[in-house]
Structure 1
Amino acid sequence: MKLSTKVAELTTIIAPAVAACDVALWGIEFAPQGRRSLLRIYIESLPEDKAQDKQVTIEDCAAVNHQVSGVLEVHDPIAGEYILEVSSPGFDRMFFSDEQMQDYVGQTISLRLIQAIGQGDKKRRKVTGKLDSIDSETVQLTSVDGEQFEVALSNIDKANLVFEDA
């Protein structure tokens, strides 16, 4: 999962503003949509706050929105109009880096792949299963029907956690 050049630039500008609000930056989505683009920022509780079961609040989102709006006004990295959204990653959180997945070993994730994997008519570009392990180059998954997959990290287009109600 590689960040686009634009998202990497926005992350550099936005990360300090998010940190100033005492929350962590989970990830950024940027979708140019003609005259009006969408900038979505996901924030997470700081690790020490998570240990105390503190969650991201609406007030946290509002504070980050205010702080980031000011920074974007100064730096002006987005041409034209844009909509700014600030949110928690939610239960079905999208992963923005390989490192984020490491905390979710043993849980179910869904992957959309760049190139299909499998053999013959069993080729697929979407794989869902329990994350068995992750290393610097691959993830290993076991699907509900017991099928095992080894997927190169470089072949993952999009990954997210699958919420399972306990």
Structure 2
Amino acid sequence: MKLSTKVAELTAIIAPAVAACDVALWGVEFAPQGQRSLLRIYIESLPEEQAQDKHVTIENCAAVNHQVSGILEVHDPIAGEYILEVSSPGFDRAFFSDEQMHHYIGQTVSLRLIQAIGQGDQKRRKVTGILDSIDTTSLKMTTTDNEQFEIDLSNIDKANLIYEDA
């Protein structure tokens, strides 16, 4: 889950503005779409607030939108028009870094891979299963049909948590 150069640049510019609003930056998506691009920022409550079961509010999103808009006006890192969206990552959150996945061991994740894994006709680029473990280079997961995979982190294109109602 390597960030593009543009997303890394935007993250560096946006992060201090998000922190000034007393929330944590979960991730940044940037999608150039012709004349109007989309910049989506995901925020979540700070770890100490999560421990108190506090969640991101509409007011948090509005405050971050206001702060980030001001910073983007000054730095002007996006050519042309863009739409700015700010939201919580939600229950089916996308992971933007390998470190984020460490907190979700034992839960179900969905991966889209760069290179297919498996054997013979069973090769696949999409895998869903329980995240068993993760280290600095790979993760291990078990699918619903008890297949076990060890997947290099560098082979992950996209990863999402799959929400399961307890």
Normalising by structure 1, what TM-score? 0.99
Residue type of the alignment partner of 1:156: I
Instruction: Give the residue type in structure 2 aligned to 1:86.
Output: V
Partner residue in 1 for 2:70: 70
Q: 2:140 — aligned with what?
A: 140
For 1:1-166, what aligned pairs fall within 5 Å after superposition?
A: 1-166=1-166
AA matched with 2:45:
S
CA offset at residue 113 of structure 1?
A: 0.1
Displacement over 4 Å in runs of 4+: none
Question: 1:145 Cα deviation (Å)?
Answer: 0.9
> What is the identity, as a one-letter code, of the residue corresponding to 1:46?
L
Post-superposition shift, 1:148? 0.4
Tell me the CA shift for residue 150 of structure 1.
Answer: 0.7
The letter of the residue matching 2:44 is: E
Q: Give the superposition deviation at 1:156.
A: 0.1
Runs of at least 5 residues in structure 1 that lack an aligned partner in the other structure: none
Task: Give the 3-state SS of the residue equivalent to 1:159 in structure 2.
Answer: strand
Q: Post-superposition shift, 1:17?
A: 0.1
Amino acid at match of 2:75: H
Partner of 1:113, secondary structure, is: strand
Cα deviation, residue 32, structure 1 = 0.2
May I ask how many residue pairs the two structures share in their alignment?
Answer: 166
For 1:157, give the aligned amino acid: D
In structure 2, how many angstroms separate the alpha carbons of the residues matched to 1:35 and 1:103?
A: 38
Identity of aligned residues (%): 83
**For 1:58 and 1:158, how far apart are their aligned partners in 2?**
27
> 1:93: Cα distance to partner?
0.2
Q: How many Å apart are 1:46 and its aligned residue?
A: 0.3
Distance 2:149 2:91 in 1: 24
Cα RMSD between the aligned structures? Answer: 0.3
CA distance in 1, matches of 2:49, 2:165: 23
In 2, Cα distance between equivalents of 1:122 and 1:146: 14
- 1:57 partner letter: T
Write the distance in 2 (CA, Å) between the matches of 1:150 and 1:38.
34
Q: Deviations over 1:42-79 (max 9, x none)?
A: 00100111011100000000000000000000000000
Aligned residue for 2:64, secondary structure, equals helix
Match of 2:111, SS state, is strand
